[in-house]
Amino acid sequence: MLKGISKLISPELLQVLSEMGHSDEIVLADGNFPAASHAQRLVRADGHNIPGLLDAILQLFPLDQYVVRPVALMQVVPGDTVQTPIWEQYRTIIESRTGLAEPFEEVERFAFYERAKHAYAIVATGESALYANLILKKGVIAD
């Protein structure tokens, strides 16, 4: 164990976050996402929810400051009546950690899957909320 690092961040996830460079992307995938079949690197975080992991990750690296929307959400499929209250949780966490009030771009479902295939890693979580997947684009650490 290490001081100052959330218990939600496993040694494997810490290594992946450390290896990532500027503009690399990481997917935080809900329990329904086909993580194993899409991942170049798969990190298991079963039993953890995405809001907790998002908050822990944003304490360790910045979002990309050179793009307008450094976080991507999977767009709700047209005609689907599902509500996405988890997005407001994400917005609150991101704003408190980064100051960004409007960090999201919405990506069509199949385009999101394709983008996920090229991500540096996918973190498979136990998140049960629908449309809870998100992609974070890593920024520059200047300190």
- What's the rounded Cα separation, in Å, for the pair 105 and 71? 6
Q: Establish whether 113 is a catalytic residue.
A: yes
The secondary structure element, H or E, covering residue 89 is helix 86-98
Q: Establish whether 120 is a catalytic residue.
A: no
Give, in order, the Cα–Cα distances in Å from 108 to each of 5, 27, 57.
34, 15, 25
Supply 51's token pair: 């809001």
- Among residues 24, 30, 55, 64, the one annotated as catalytic is 64
- What's the rounded Cα separation, in Å, for the pair 130 and 135? 15
Q: Establish whether 131 is a catalytic residue.
A: no
Edge-to-edge strands of the sheet including 134-137? Answer: 42-45, 121-125, 25-29, 134-137, 71-74, 104-107
Supply 5's token pair: 């690092």
- What's the rounded Cα separation, in Å, for the pair 17 and 92? 22
Instruction: Please identify every residue annotated as catalytic.
Output: 22, 64, 113
